[in-house]
Chains A and B, each alone.
Chain A
């Protein structure tokens, strides 16, 4: 079953704008992760946020986590054409291993020049 659901399904912005995508989940988690997938390629891990953290930054990425609302958001600031990809959230229910990671359906981001 799908634990994480991303919103929106697709997002189109211009270069330089910020992109925000959201992930909602259903059960308690140990951590939530974001991955990027370029078309026809494997996924690349971007950032992990633990259940006791509220916000985390990595370069142009900012992730927030609200465990009371069971939701997370990924903000990409000053988007570039190279950010065009699909972005997936993945939740770890409470194991600390990848064996129970559940992936959402993804947000397709298109950044145009």
Chain B
């Protein structure tokens, strides 16, 4: 079945640590996205990539980094520079129609 796989589902981080969230898709979609969701708020765009080896900052990119070395993979690193990283992170892809397919999400908690 085609879809987006995010891992891990739950992640705990100590302050000062970098963590990487995995996002893999087998939908053959060119564009991939990372969103952050906080309680009671809508989704906010962190980074997106419309093609391999290229990515763009979204609205809240500070403290995050990404790479896009393969079409299928778009990992997100939450760095120690992100001061409030506790959130639900969602990866999504778009076949070029402007409609998103989402993964199941990763919940990051800072201890």
Contacts and interface: CB of A to CB of B under 8 A. Distances in A.
- Do A and B interact with each other, yes or no? yes
Interface of A: 2, 4, 30-31, 33, 35, 40-45, 48, 88, 92, 95-99, 101-106
Contacts of A92: 98
B33 interface: yes
Nearest to B104: A42
A88 B50 contact: no
Interface residues of B, number: 28
B96 interface: yes
Best-surrounded residue of A43, A44, A98, A101 (most CB of chain B within 10 A): A98
Interface stretch (B35-43, B62-70, B71-79): B35-43
Contacts of A4: 42
B98 A97 contact: yes
Nearest to A1: B59
Interface of B is mostly: strand
B42 A2 contact: yes
Interface in B31-53: 31, 33, 40-45, 48, 50
B101 to A, nearest CB: 7
Contacts of A97: 31, 50, 94, 96, 98
A27 to B, nearest CB: 15
B42 A41 contact: no
Contacts of A105: 40-42
A11 to B, nearest CB: 15
Central interface residue in B43, B48, B90, by most chain A CB within 10 Å: B43
